[in-house]
Structure 1
Amino acid sequence: MILEREPERATLTGLLDLARAGDGGLAVVVAPAGIGKTTLLADLAATARDRQVRVLAAQGSQFEREFSFGLVRQLFEPLLAGAAESERSALLAGAAGQAAAVLGAADPAAGERGDFAILHGLYWLTANLCQDRPLLLCVDDLQWSDHASVRFLAHLLPRLRDLPVLVLAATRPEDPDADLRPVRQLLADPRGVAVRPGPLGEAAVARLLSERLGRPVGPAFARACHAATQGTPFLVAELGRSLAAAGVEPDDAHVDRVAAIGSAALGHMVSRRLAHLSPGATAFARAMSLVEDNSALADVIAVSGLALAEATDAMTELERADILRAGGPGRVAFDHPLMRSVVYDAQPVGARIAGHALAARVLATAGHEPERVAGHLLRVPAGPVPNPAVTAALRQAAADALTRGSPDSAHAYLRRCLDESLPAAERLALLIDLGALTQQSDMAASADYLGRAADLATDPGDRVRVADMLARALHFVGRNAEAVAVCRAARREPDLSADARQRLDAQLLVLAMADRSITTSGSLAEARLLVPEPGTGGRLLDCIVGVADAFDGRPEATERTLRALRGLDVRTAAHGLEIYLSGCIALLMADHPDGMAVLDGWVAEAHQHGSTVLYAYTKAARGIGWYWRGALAEAEADASDALEIGEASLTDVRPAAAACLANTLMAQGRDEEASMALTRAGVDPGDPDAGFLYTLVESQAALHAARGDAVGASRWAALCGERYAASGGVNPARVAWRSVLAAAQHALGDVGDARRTAAAELDLARRWGAPRTLGRALRVSGLVEGGEAGLALLRASVEVLADSPARLEYATALVDLGAALRRAGRRGDSRPELVRGVEVAEVCGAGPLALRGRRELRAAGSRMRPAAVAGPAALTPSEARVVELAVEGGSNRDIAQALYVTAKTVEVHLSNAYRKLGVSGRRELLTRHRDRPA
């Protein structure tokens, strides 16, 4: 019976109907225990089945929160296990095949899986599942979910609008035994819908009691029951059971009996009911509470210690008492999710620990997966005597978790190993493994583990290996002085290999770039003269020297950086990833095409094998590249993806991603959204203790300029210059703070200062020589110079940029030149420049710039309006790539998987491309391509 839930049911049914129509979404039922969340989920699941929607269900467990992708496996494994081989192959076709690493026994031969590759595979499995009919994913007790499964839901959420899929979850708002941070992040996403059912009213309580007691309930009696239960359905049902057992008539004359039961602590009714069970039933119920819900009957019997006949009698007794219900074939479960918690909590602590130890042995003997065994070992304290079997089980569970792409679970298992009595060598190896593992997610924890490892290391090779990783972790948490000391101490180790020495030297240079109080100028000068040794150390050193030189504006930096990145396998580059990504940025600063090519490959690698960290950082870097090229739609997509992942994982990618996104939005005239993007960086760029953050500061300056606040733009631009210089930055290719400052000074009437500022940037840009940087500096100098000299500089800017990849900067130069010519009275000369500028701006998606160009054309007396740009030149990079793949014969799904986007995104790109190319659809596109002269 479902009472007083009409609004919630209507909301959920409406979302289900939207999903059936192809507009998927997420709904989360948020309410305290016992309020009826599970009932709402079951009700919608029944409605979905009636409407021919496929329903997959899962439930979180207190004792399986570390089990990697536990909820995901509950959702998908039964379906795949029951599918014919042909259906299973179809479901796991293409990118979905990466999900196979999660769904089934871990395959150690496959090696570690990147967590992002797994998420990508699970998304495509979901997309494959809903091809023939809509899909409802029901997840109960989300508060007890493993983090990897919640990350999957977060990954799915922005992609649900393109799928006929509704995700329905239920969670408690608070739970002292649960880590609710991932769930809260999911709930905070505005794309999800939160449903919050409240307690029942008096009338509903009266109806439930009447149903339970089989006779009408008096009004005063109902009020007393409502007060005693606070309208919680589970407690109302328990109260009805107690009243029936006591033979209390539900009339107003027996109101005092309700108060008496209430004063006896209503919340302990179930405990009192359990106290009346036979010893066998109690043992069976306790065994059920120790293993996951819907457990195999054989496992429960083994943990209970009962003989088969005793267990059968116990099950009968528990079923009659509405405590147990049959689960799947050969499985049993509690009648209500709260029942398990009550039974578990009623046991003495010592009995619980002994029960988990027994459960671990039973499951291990029965051949269950190491992670199921480890889930119990996590709840058993280590003993004073070494237990190699426990350590081995936990280490195997960690290895399996990494194979499935769940570093969080692996971390939990390895951390528990530290509690055991271990030989020094084994403890050192464990601390090194933990330090390496957490370098991808929690640098503070990594610094702690590696610091303890450094204290234990006696072998010179171990000391150097630990020092290399420890210095990196210390740098990331802002302890640069300690990091330098660690590197220098390791540098003094005898018989240091060339590779190790160069790795340490590379880390020292990173530290020097981040903290100008660290003096390594001699080392940098020496490193420039070295021919790096083959290996990781030489590659890292080459790359960071190239980056340092690029930031210093030395043109020779590009060749060194190319040498460092050539042939790099990013799967082996997790240590030093930030150095290699800085190398890609250095190539983008030089307008070198290999910068984007390398990043494209790394994004693909992240989808196929890589981690969330690799994906987020490469997406952020590629977003910068797209922005500098003027591909605003692509830049926005990459920066948004990186920022969303950064927010979910709280990584350091957020400032760079937020700055790139803000710049992209400003170029599209979306200044308020840009301002919001900057607030998502996770830091205040104006805080003197926040670090350099010069890209964020530059974006703040640009935002003030866009709003017409020259004073604010001037102040933030000057601060950007200070921060950039403090990090060793000279080259305006990374941040053009002088351009912003010169424009602000000019707007404030400080023409002399503006010209000097612009001239200083132009000198640096000429030294660097890259077209985007030089073209921009020429343009700004032309604007502040004015007159014929200014026009000459603007023309030079257009010429420099004409054949460059920097299309937005080219469009800006064209419009500025056209406007300057119009103001000089040369309206005829201005029109071709303005028309071309508008065309290029529209291809970039820079609406405000195109609008300004059109206004200038009208002011120049032009009666023609620039036609909408058409033909291949009008296609954005994404549209052009989609067309290319379509011409090669790829279906929308093939193209989507090749480009790592949704099928709906491919549809949108093709629709835009058809309009720009003047074709009616795919058939005409293919015909034109076939008939095109060779």
Structure 2
Amino acid sequence: MIDLHEVATPAVLHGRDDELDALARLLTASGGGCVPVLLRGGWGSGKTSLLRTVLARARRDPGLHVVSAWVDPLERDLPFGMVRQLFEHMAAVDAPVPPVAPDSPDTPRTNLAAHSDPYSAPWTMPPEALAARTAGQEMAALGELYRQVARLAGHKRLVVIIDDLQRADPASLRWLRYLLCRGGELPVVVLAALAEEGTHPNTDSLAAVLPLFRHQLTLGGLAQDAVDSLAEEILGHVPPTAFTAACREASAGIPLLLRAVLRGIRARRPADAGLTAPIAEYVPADLGPALLARMEPLAAHAATTAAAVAVLGGSPSTDLLAATVGLSVSQVADAVHGLVRAGCATQTGSEVSLVCESLAVAVSTTVLPSRRMELHVRAARSLHADGAPAERVAAHLLPGALGERWAPEVLARAAERAYEQGDLARAATYVRRALREDAQEESRARLLALLGRLELAFDVPVAVGSFERSLELCQDPGERAVVARGLAGALLALDRYPDALQVLRTTCESLREADPADAMRLEIDLIHIALTNAASAPDAVRRLKELDVDDAPDTGVRRPLAALLSLREAMAGRAGEAVSLARTALERGADPMSDASVVYYDAVISLRAAGETELALEYAEAAVGQARERASVLGHVQAIGVRASMLCGLGRLLDSQADALSALAQLQGIGIGPSHSFAVFATATLMESLVRQGRPDEAEELLQRADLAGELNSNWVNDYVLMVRGRLRVAQGRLDKALADFLLCGERAGARGTSGPGFHPWRSEAALVHTELRQGDAARALAEAELALAHGWGTPETVGTALRAMGLVTGGPEGLELLREAVETLRGTPARVRFAQALADFGVLARKAGRLPEARACLQEAASVAHECGATPVTDLALAELRAVGDRPRTRTFQGAAALTPTERRVTELAVQGMTNREIAQRLYVGLRTVEAHLTSSYGKLAIDGRSGLAHALAAASCGP
């Protein structure tokens, strides 16, 4: 057995250099003796091309006598038909032979030996001797044939080349066996090609010959370098490797298919144009019939079975194929066996698949559309009857004909499964196909509701239409409530607040007597939405004050009601009650699958207003994960928008920016622009992050792009926009505009009962602007009011923020003490940016008061905390003040590895390597006390106690954030 590896690409026969070299060595091997060589390969593998190339090369060798036969199936019943083709023309030794190009595809399928060779012995066996009728006559003919071959081989080495050996007649196969068994000493090379086809009438005779071939070569798919060369030849330019690799995969490297694909690509696209479809779809339309014709002889029903495999796709089982094409399982098994032996199919267990995509495409295009639909319907029926998973059945219902009574139910189950797996596009496809069937109204209503949920991820306006049609058809109270809430959510995303309120109000009233629980659940969402709009907020607030958590008729309503009531408590300044209710509301997360609703984010916002920002962030992050698992775009956008706000409040400005940008991009993808209220919240959060980072120009550009620079509507979210816009105007030095925004924010918040400092500290911000404008009385009045409200609110964050404003407004020694109190109140809270601001303000006032040590310590800490958050303006202020007290800061932070001086960094690195203080001093040529001083300073900056924490601290710093 010869082990071959495909290497260089020859000029004519791509990818078969190794085989050609191996065959050349066998043809010209020194010494006598018979050399039998069998060339194996499936159809399309290039066996015939390889044999013709070998034949052409052999004829050019004057030391060889070459005979050849290309066996025709028509000669199977003709005794010695293959032998006749090899030798019958040699009797006319004086007849001239017309010249034929060595590599021409038109080489006649007859003997083409050099008849004029004077050393060739004449063929003297008369043709009638080959027409043997009895066993004795055949044996005599075999003996005479052997002697004739021996006579020929006595003059020159004889080379016998046979293509399609599997088609040879039995008498010729017995002759070949006779020759190989007895001609061991004859200088004869027999090179035969065998196609791996199915059973034939001469299988037994063939099986007796094959073991006698000592040398066997198997042709596989072309190697990558051969594909590269062939693609260059056919396309006329050097294509990218990624392209040729895709061609090889699509054709399994089979030369026949590969050439067809490449020629199809050349015919259908310009040389400088890219592909517009998967590579297999460039298969020429006329290839399929030719392939099926070649499959017909492989086995009974081979072509029919291959067509069914191609149409059904994937790897159908033999049982499914039998049910689909109307054959017995054994008939399909025989057909599959022939396909597998020929190399055009593979089988794993009972599952069958064609070897490559281009073959499947070519074969499937030969099947009429009506036949394809019939095959898919039969497959769906068989799978459904066997209890197969809904998604397997649905895959065949999609392209199948309409009319199966059970189809809508199966398609709906498949859609739900795809939805759970996050494949929303696939789920929507199943539902749309189900809606084409003749389904009952209730079933159609459920399908439309599911379609609406799915369409929210692609096109919100389209989802509104699906929800509306579902609500019209739906009769079940519970399902009506769910559909109404889904429709209201979609309308809200489009800023259609009145329509959303009307849907909820109408449906709620229609269900109040029949289903009080669902009615209250709808009312909860109704109140939540009404609160966000100034016109409807007063009535909503009155109704909200009447509710109690015990009013919930069941636990399914208790949690959303608790979320709404937590907001009420936060609005009233009762932080403790707000936190308790929020925990009840969020016991299953902020985005539970059983009751997805934006009302749960009221509880998250209440937690932040109550100073529990870190806990609020935990719930927001969990909601992001829940929405991601369900592939809910709107749910994910809402979750990351809320998370962005929490991150901004914690001073994680870059993380907040990333979330806000992601939310806006996803909203844009489903048709919601930056001016919609769903996008405005993320836009305002992003603006706040940019302003705190000292990037006002980018924030202004965002403001203009979202059309938020002018008058704003009464939506609740715009209170937040006014707060952020006011801070932007302060950063731009437009103080009058800033003051107007802060005061308007307060006016609007007061109208809906959210004027407490836990939501928007507008009084503190307005007081600081009044101070800058030298309007001291107005500034003090606002600052005092804010501080009183903050103490009543009771959370350190709101108290510290109000103390900072009061200290800056007051100034002097009293103001300095108020700022000191603000620093200590904010220390340890999640409000890192506000803490850094208070530190910097205290440092500035302390420097002006001549209290330089206190100023220096606070300014260094302010710079470090602000740098950690990314709050560049605060860092710049603190560093400028440090320079004013005579310091020369080398870095922008005084904490962490970034604060280490070059010498401290070198000393700590040597310490991490295990060197003692004395060894470090010797290495750096410094004193022992100097090393100790550098290490002590480094420990303080890295917030560690000693050497044991050095390695971890430095490693963490090198990894970055």
Q: TM (normalized to structure 2)? A: 0.55
The answer to whether 1:556 aligns with 2:578 is no
Q: How does 1:581-592 map to 2 (within 5 A)?
A: 581-592=601-612
Equivalent in the alignment of 2:398? 378
Equivalent in the alignment of 1:250? none
Give 1:809 shift: 1.1
Equivalent in the alignment of 2:885? 860
1:468–1:503 Cα contact (<8 Å) kept: no
The answer to whether 1:490 aligns with 2:490 is no
Equivalent in the alignment of 2:438? 421
2:283–2:362 Cα contact (<8 Å) kept: no
The 1:793/1:455 distance shift into structure 2, 3 A limit, reads same
In structure 2, C-alpha distance between the alignment counterparts of 1:503 and 1:700, rounded to whole Å:
36
The answer to whether 1:474 aligns with 2:501 is no
Equivalent in the alignment of 1:7? none
In structure 1, C-alpha distance between the alignment counterparts of 2:630 and 2:247, rounded to whole Å:
46
2:609–2:759 Cα contact (<8 Å) kept: yes
In structure 1, C-alpha distance between the alignment counterparts of 2:817 and 2:445, rounded to whole Å:
67
The 1:600/1:925 distance shift into structure 2, 3 A limit, reads farther
SS of the residue 1:517 aligns to: coil
Q: How does 1:690-705 map to 2 (within 5 A)?
A: 693-694=717-718, 695=720, 699=724, 702=727
Give 1:588 shift: 0.7
In structure 1, C-alpha distance between the alignment counterparts of 2:387 and 2:515, rounded to whole Å:
45
Give 1:348 shift: 3.3
Give 1:615 shift: 6.2
Equivalent in the alignment of 2:650? 629
Q: How does 1:212-251 map to 2 (within 5 A)?
A: none
The 1:562/1:334 distance shift into structure 2, 3 A limit, reads same
Equivalent in the alignment of 1:397? 414
The 1:305/1:675 distance shift into structure 2, 3 A limit, reads farther
Q: How does 1:339-350 map to 2 (within 5 A)?
A: 339-350=359-370
Equivalent in the alignment of 1:369? 389
1:655–1:682 Cα contact (<8 Å) kept: no
Candidates 785, 791, 808, aligned match of 2:833 = 808
Unaligned runs of 5+ in 2: 1-5, 10-224, 264-281, 901-937, 954-961
In structure 2, C-alpha distance between the alignment counterparts of 1:357 and 1:610, rounded to whole Å:
31
Q: How does 1:24-43 map to 2 (within 5 A)?
A: none
Equivalent in the alignment of 1:287? 308
Give 1:450 shift: 3.5
The answer to whether 1:569 aligns with 2:588 is yes
Give 1:856 shift: 1.5
Q: How does 1:645-684 map to 2 (within 5 A)?
A: 656-657=681-682, 659-660=684-685, 663-664=688-689, 667=692
SS of the residue 1:326 aligns to: strand
2:302–2:336 Cα contact (<8 Å) kept: yes
Q: How does 1:445-456 map to 2 (within 5 A)?
A: 447-456=464-473
Equivalent in the alignment of 2:66? none
In structure 2, C-alpha distance between the alignment counterparts of 1:431 and 1:608, rounded to whole Å:
23
Candidates 542, 546, 550, aligned match of 1:529 = 546
The 1:330/1:915 distance shift into structure 2, 3 A limit, reads farther
SS of the residue 2:599 aligns to: helix
The 1:287/1:540 distance shift into structure 2, 3 A limit, reads same
1:685–1:693 Cα contact (<8 Å) kept: no
The one-letter code matched in structure 2 to 1:860 is V
Equivalent in the alignment of 1:517? 535
SS of the residue 1:577 aligns to: coil
Give 1:657 shift: 5.0
Give 1:411 shift: 4.2
Give 1:507 shift: 1.9
The 1:287/1:673 distance shift into structure 2, 3 A limit, reads farther
The one-letter code matched in structure 1 to 2:823 is V
The 1:336/1:430 distance shift into structure 2, 3 A limit, reads closer
1:547–1:561 Cα contact (<8 Å) kept: no
Equivalent in the alignment of 1:547? 567
SS of the residue 1:588 aligns to: helix
Give 1:275 shift: 7.5
The answer to whether 1:507 aligns with 2:525 is yes
Give 1:815 shift: 0.8
Equivalent in the alignment of 1:917? 944
The 1:729/1:597 distance shift into structure 2, 3 A limit, reads closer
Q: TM (normalized to structure 1)? A: 0.56
| Bigger relative CO (Cα 8 Å, ≥ 6 apart) | 1
Give 1:689 shift: 9.0
1:491–1:501 Cα contact (<8 Å) kept: yes
In structure 2, C-alpha distance between the alignment counterparts of 1:619 and 1:661, rounded to whole Å:
12
1:547–1:582 Cα contact (<8 Å) kept: yes
Candidates 837, 852, 859, aligned match of 1:834 = 859
SS of the residue 1:356 aligns to: helix
Q: How does 1:168-207 map to 2 (within 5 A)?
A: 207=229
Give 1:357 shift: 1.0
The 1:595/1:743 distance shift into structure 2, 3 A limit, reads same
In structure 1, C-alpha distance between the alignment counterparts of 2:829 and 2:329, rounded to whole Å:
79
The 1:706/1:326 distance shift into structure 2, 3 A limit, reads farther
SS of the residue 1:566 aligns to: helix
Q: How does 1:866-905 map to 2 (within 5 A)?
A: 868-869=894-895
CA offset digits 1:532-564 (Å, max 9, x no partner) = 3243434434432442564xx420365146325
In the alignment of these two chains, the number of paired residues is: 650
SS of the residue 2:605 aligns to: helix
The one-letter code matched in structure 2 to 1:208 is L
1:791–1:821 Cα contact (<8 Å) kept: yes
In structure 1, C-alpha distance between the alignment counterparts of 2:716 and 2:756, rounded to whole Å:
16
The 1:394/1:205 distance shift into structure 2, 3 A limit, reads closer
Q: How does 1:93-108 map to 2 (within 5 A)?
A: none
In structure 1, C-alpha distance between the alignment counterparts of 2:823 and 2:625, rounded to whole Å:
37
SS of the residue 1:630 aligns to: coil
Equivalent in the alignment of 2:13? none
Unaligned runs of 5+ in 1: 5-202, 213-221, 246-264, 875-910, 927-934
The one-letter code matched in structure 2 to 1:809 is R
Deviates further, 573-582 or 265-274: 265-274
CA offset digits 1:223-251 (Å, max 9, x no partner) = 6999xxx9997999779968999xxxxxx
The 1:697/1:356 distance shift into structure 2, 3 A limit, reads farther
In structure 1, C-alpha distance between the alignment counterparts of 2:793 and 2:380, rounded to whole Å:
64
The answer to whether 1:359 aligns with 2:379 is yes
2:563–2:601 Cα contact (<8 Å) kept: no
Equivalent in the alignment of 1:190? none
Identity of aligned residues (%): 27
The one-letter code matched in structure 2 to 1:361 is R
The 1:409/1:764 distance shift into structure 2, 3 A limit, reads farther
Give 1:504 shift: 2.8
In structure 2, C-alpha distance between the alignment counterparts of 1:661 and 1:480, rounded to whole Å:
24
Q: How does 1:706-725 map to 2 (within 5 A)?
A: none
2:767–2:782 Cα contact (<8 Å) kept: yes
The one-letter code matched in structure 2 to 1:773 is T
State the Cα RMSD in Å.
5.6
In structure 2, C-alpha distance between the alignment counterparts of 1:313 and 1:225, rounded to whole Å:
43
In structure 2, C-alpha distance between the alignment counterparts of 1:266 and 1:624, rounded to whole Å:
53
